[in-house]
A and B are shown apart, each in its own frame.
Chain A
Amino acid sequence: MSTLTSLARAEAVRAGRAQPIATVRHVHVHDRPLVLVPLTLAGEANAPLAAMVGDDPDKPRLLVVAQPRNRDQRFAFATALAGVIVSYADGFTARVEAVAGDRARDIRVRFADAPQIVVPNPGGVDFARLFGRSTRFRRSYGDYAVDPAVPMLGRWLTFFAERAEYPGSCLLLAATEALALHWATGQSLVEDQNLAALLGWIDPPVGLTGAQAAVLAEDAGTWPPAGPTTDPTFDSTVLAPLIQAGDVPGLEKALTAQLEPTWGLVWRAVDRLRALPAGPRVAGRWDADKEAYTAHVQHLRDGGPPQPRRDSATAAAQRLNRLERAQASYAAQRAFDDPLVLAEYRLAGEAFVGTVTAAEPERVEGAGRSRKLRPHIVVSTADPVRLAPGTALVAPTRSGQKATLIAITGDGVLLELSGGMGRAATPAPGTVPEVGERICYSSLTDGYQPVADFPRREDTPWTHGGPPAGYDPAPVGDAADAAATDTVAADAAEEWS
């Protein structure tokens, strides 16, 4: 957190409701998202208990595992969940769009839309990751065969969970995190993990303050936990007797009562977010999500293997590189889209907004062939500039032009400009900021970042353990199967209570 967000929290305390920390929406909100609210059985390793899922707020689909420790029932749940999730995720392949590549002739095609799953909280993302892990290596033949939809579900859930790690991706959203990106409440981040309490601050019921609404929301009797963990009191007083008795209608009724409030909250969160105006760069990030979706569908169609259990050395390094590049660009894009986010950088002295008070647009350096246009401008600002001389800055409104900080004087910040002024001996009209213009400069850039080179998997160096053992240039068969055999064998002992 930062001073600015903390101040917004303090304001929320006094105002009795959450305060905005964003002026635009930074996440993509789908026209038809799929909401998934999963519950697991306490004490078990991600054993599903129930889920409420669907793309229509009025028509939730309830899935229940009457005996959560029973392997067959668990896979029946997975098959049913696959019926909803895989068909939803597969359902955006009808329309394609053409995209220009780096060169004009390179035209690629990608799907024109992509799926979006919304879960209540980061626990829901973990559920997707772990349930993906426990199902994607299953086989639909041989001993312990499962429905072919089960491994497919696992591969989709894993895809969504991996994209959720990617800064700026919106294929899988946790409602609490998406909301917390836009509002500061008058409580702590720890308490914001409770979706009901968070929405209580953002949208307090008539007659209540956010603080009062949040206290009410903490009562597990009225607002059951948003999962995947259930309320221990519910477990002992309601769930245990019903499971014991094998009372399926009773279970469905009880679990519906646990899930429905959260189902409603997630849709409310979606509506609240949708009501915000989208930031200009949100669509570009959704395009990247469409690319990832297209690549995953293609991988499945090509008969590619399931995602490995852990990244190899080369895969890990490449993924980290992608994530760091995405992180840098996401941070810059949010600041460029949103003055409130930019204000964080201004307060830290890494960006400033001011007025041009002097300009020397035709200033040149060198002579003859090395003659270069190097205009100087002075920007007067009340912001606390803490940038060192020599730092390269960019104005979001003039991204093709570099400004080098020369000095900070009593009059303002002296900048030297290069680039983006045309080819003539004097700058093209409008390419040098004019006296009186209000302008923002920062060291943030959303420019092109070259992709780093990494060794191929089979060239993993000795320092990192050498090529992975049992490496097979076509890992479709062996590597995937070996993993599957392992887990299938271990699974035989799964039912034990």
Chain B
Amino acid sequence: MSDVEARLARIRGTAPVREHTARTIAALTTNPGCDRRAVLDAAGIDKQKLAGYVEFPVPSGQSPFAISRGNAFEAQVKADGCAGLLRLLGERLGLPVPEVSYADLAPAGTGASLDARHARTRELLAEAAAAGPDGGVLLDHPLLRLDVGGRAAYLEPDLIAVRLRGRFHVVEIKSFAVIDGQADGRKVAAAATQAAVYVLALRGLLAELGYGPETVADEVVLICPENFANQPTAALVDVRRQLTVLTRQLSRLARIGDLIATLPADLTFDLGAAGAQPEPGCGGGEHPPRFSDDSAVPGRPVVEVVGALHATRARYAPECLDACELAYFCRDEARGQTAALGRSVHDELGGVPDVAGVLDLAAGTRVPDPDQAEAAELLRLAARLRAESLASAL
């Protein structure tokens, strides 16, 4: 175990490692400036549990209707060995789909282990890659691996289509609707980033087998229901931009040691007995975890855990509320900061970080540092215009 790994293990404490999923890896790109998140993710800490422990629980997870709809749609697309899907690839995307065989790596009820599934995935991909451009294979429930900050994360793409136009394509099935050719841009972006994680992992695996990155297409196939009925439609999504961003953030994660070196030596997020409870449903689950009630288990004093959190520097922005389990804690901590009022507010207020400072400078009741002289001038002018305008309207 390296120094960094040992250090991360101490930071995590006795709790089991929370493994990365495609979703958590994709989340690395949503607020990469946040040291707190970087440390917690690198140490494999269950942020949801931590948030609940410090009494800022995540309000709620995913609706059972959304989950069952997602599962039913995926089952429908994959029915009959993906016959409908293959037709769609041919008709909608003009992808020639010759003689495609279908292989399910985890048929329901077999309960194959992660390692076995990964080995089998690798074996089938090696065969398909060696078979040349004519042999098509659709791999269902494949299992890939990606190195994330020194730890292996297991990833489960919906499907991998082999050798469409001579390349491997990642297929992502989502249950949000495409209506008259348009879909929610944020949902497509999330799907694209997640699929880009699979592309990276697939490229990594093929590189081990001696194939170059061009073997895997940087366009992924997105399958969604069309309009208001339940028929699937397909679209190609270019994920080159997501690949660049992910690659950069993964390489920063690899340098987590620099960040950890700046933290107190005895820092740990160990929750004591409460943290050692195994989390149900670990691994592979792509749905956001649900709030689990883990009260009543005696553990480390909350104030100590809060202290540990304060020892790491967060970069809270309101957008975190939709993207990070700890956001409500960080929001509370950031009260009184201008950045908590919106990502652009800090810059608009001349770079003054705190609300009190802004108001005092605007009122002229605080003497600005030389660094803040211009900000003070801007704020005084803004305050004068506001006061004058409000008065003139009376």
Contact = CB atoms under 8 A, between A and B. Distances in A.
B359 A42 contact: no
B379 A43 contact: no
A202 B345 CA distance: 20
A497 interface: yes
Contacts of A42: 62-63, 65-66, 69
B186 to A, nearest CB: 13
B385 interface: yes
Interface string A16-44: 00001001100000000000000001111
Interface in B375-393: 378-379, 381-386, 388-390, 392-393
A493 B229 contact: yes
A6 B231 contact: no
Nearest to B352: A10
Interface residues of B, number: 60
Nearest to B70: A43
A210 to B, nearest CB: 12
A242 interface: no
A44 B69 CA distance: 7
A339 B386 CA distance: 9
B257 to A, nearest CB: 34
8 contacts: A1-B342, A7-B386, A10-B362, A43-B65, A45-B179, A235-B64, A340-B386, A496-B76
A487 B68 CA distance: 24
Nearest to A7: B382
A339 to B, nearest CB: 4
A494 B230 contact: yes
Interface stretch (B42-50, B197-205, B220-228): B220-228
Nearest to A233: B60
Contacts of B130: none
A374 to B, nearest CB: 31
Smallest CB-CB A-B distances: 5 pairs: A23-B393, A43-B66, A43-B69, A45-B177, A42-B63
Given A45-B228, A130-B179, A9 B341 contact: yes
Contacts of A24: 393
- Chain B interface helix/strand/loop/mixed: helix
Contacts of A235: 63-65
B340 A188 contact: yes
A189 B382 CA distance: 20
B319 interface: yes
Contact of B345 (A6, A47, A134): A6
A190 interface: yes
A310 interface: yes
B180 interface: yes
Given A10-B358, A42-B66, A23 B382 contact: no
B336 interface: yes
**From B226, B340, B345, residue with most partner A Cβ within 10 Å:** B345
Nearest to A21: B386
A339 B392 contact: yes
Contacts of B383: 7
Interface in A121-171: 130, 133-134
Contacts of B76: 496
Interface in A202-246: 211, 218, 220, 230-233, 235-236, 239-240
B349 A191 contact: no
A13 B60 contact: no
Contact of A347 (B176, B177, B381): B381
Given A42-B63, A43-B175, A494-B230, 4 more contacts: A3-B382, A4-B385, A7-B386, A339-B392
B210 interface: no
Contacts of B342: 1, 6, 9, 188-190
B119 to A, nearest CB: 35
A490 B231 contact: yes
A88 B377 CA distance: 53
Interface residues of A, number: 62
A187 B60 contact: no
A186 interface: yes
Contacts of A2: 348
A343 interface: yes
B348 A10 contact: no
Contact of A8 (B64, B66, B228, B386): B386
B355 interface: yes
Interface in B335-360: 335-336, 338, 340-342, 344-345, 348-350, 355-356, 358-359
A239 B64 CA distance: 10
Interface string A28-72: 000000000000011111110000000000000000000000000
Given A188-B341, A220-B60, A46 B228 contact: yes
B72 interface: yes
B65 A493 contact: no
B283 to A, nearest CB: 22
Contacts of A133: 179-180
A447 B238 CA distance: 44
Contact of A218 (B59, B176, B340, B389): B59
B240 to A, nearest CB: 27
A384 B385 CA distance: 11
Nearest to B335: A211
B78 to A, nearest CB: 15
A84 B85 CA distance: 42
Contacts of B225: 45
B99 to A, nearest CB: 29
Contacts of A177: none
Interface string A94-130: 0000000000000000000000000000000000001
Contacts of A384: 381
A198 interface: no
A240 B180 CA distance: 30
A24 B228 CA distance: 42
A13 B63 contact: no
Nearest to B346: A6
Contact of A231 (B60, B355, B392): B60
Nearest to B354: A10
Given A1-B348, A235-B64, A493-B229, A220 B59 contact: yes
B330 to A, nearest CB: 13
A340 B389 contact: yes
A456 B228 CA distance: 32
A360 interface: no
A218 B355 CA distance: 23
B318 interface: yes
A423 B327 CA distance: 68
Interface in B296-339: 318-319, 321-322, 335-336, 338
A441 to B, nearest CB: 15
A342 interface: yes
Interface string A283-317: 00000000000000000000000000110000000
B390 A3 contact: no
Contact of A11 (B72, B181, B359): B359
Nearest to A486: B227
A346 interface: yes
A490 B60 contact: no
A363 interface: no
A187 B338 CA distance: 10
A139 to B, nearest CB: 15
Contacts of B207: none
A1 B175 CA distance: 34
**From A134, A191, A231, A343, residue with most partner B Cβ within 10 Å:** A343
B111 interface: no
Given A4-B386, A11-B359, A343-B385, A186 B341 contact: yes
A23 B390 contact: yes
A384 B374 CA distance: 14
Contacts of A189: 318, 342
A14 interface: yes
Contact of A310 (B66, B181, B318, B350): B181
Interface string B248-267: 00000000000000000000
